[in-house]
A = this chain, B = another copy of it.
Amino acid sequence: MEATQSPHPYIPRDLELPGYVPVLLSQSTILGVYGTASVLVIAFIWFVSGSPKRPTIDRILMCWWAFTGLTHMILEGYFVFSPEFFKDKSAFYLSEVWKEYSKGDSRYVGRDSAVVSVEGLTAVLEGPACLLAVYAIAKAKSYSYILQFAISLGQLYGTAVYFITALLEGDNFAASLLYYYAYYVVMNSFWIVIPMAISIRCWKKTCAAFNNQGQKKVKSR
């Protein structure tokens, strides 16, 4: 028996990860690729959505839905279906992302069932629904707002379960305070603030549509 202590950087220290291969790409490469890819997606959607009739808010929302949908499907989808990503020796980008992110929340590398459940629902249901939302906004579909509302509520519910389960289990899954705030708090906060703003907007738009319908019925009597 050799190397009984675990060589991984994650907290709790006694987390067992047989076959763990350390992060091979640098933090700046991992974050840089995600940042650059996101900017390219957003720029692409911004330019193709340009039209004199389309309000700026719709273009911003299309960019958000494309960005978050691809994040859900590619990054989170890979995590859900790759339970052994931490053993990857090939410096495959998506494995490296989750090895790195697990420094902020080791429940990812530890395969916590609440995290896998939430990520599974996010990747499989919400990811494709986000891309449908891009299309729905582009074509001004009647289901555009209720779809955006549904996905945003799903994101909020998932983030709530994600944070509450961590709190109930002692909130001690980050390798340092820096990782705790930079990865766990700051990154996830986008998926609280933006879905909340979109939910409120969709709620108001829907109430307005029903109010209009009500007034129309009263007038037509």
Contact = CB atoms under 8 A, between A and B. Distances in A.
29 contacts: A113-B114, A113-B165, A114-B117, A114-B161, A114-B165, A116-B164, A116-B168, A117-B160, A117-B161, A120-B164, A121-B164, A142-B207, A142-B210, A142-B211, A142-B214, A143-B203, A143-B210, A145-B210, A146-B146, A146-B149, A146-B206, A153-B157, A157-B157, A206-B206, A206-B210, A209-B210, A212-B216, A213-B213, A216-B216
Interface string A106-138: 000000011011101100000000000000000
Contact of A146 (B113, B114, B203): B203
A155 B121 CA distance: 14
Interface string A151-193: 0011001101100110011000000000000000000000000
A150 interface: yes
Interface of A: 113-114, 116-118, 120-121, 140, 142-146, 149-150, 153-154, 157-158, 160-161, 164-165, 168-169, 202-203, 206-214, 216
Nearest to A215: B216
A168 B111 CA distance: 10
Nearest to A210: B142
Given A114-B117, A206-B209, A212-B216, 17 more contacts: A113-B164, A114-B114, A116-B164, A116-B168, A117-B164, A117-B165, A120-B164, A121-B161, A121-B164, A142-B214, A143-B210, A144-B210, A146-B203, A157-B157, A206-B210, A209-B209, A209-B212
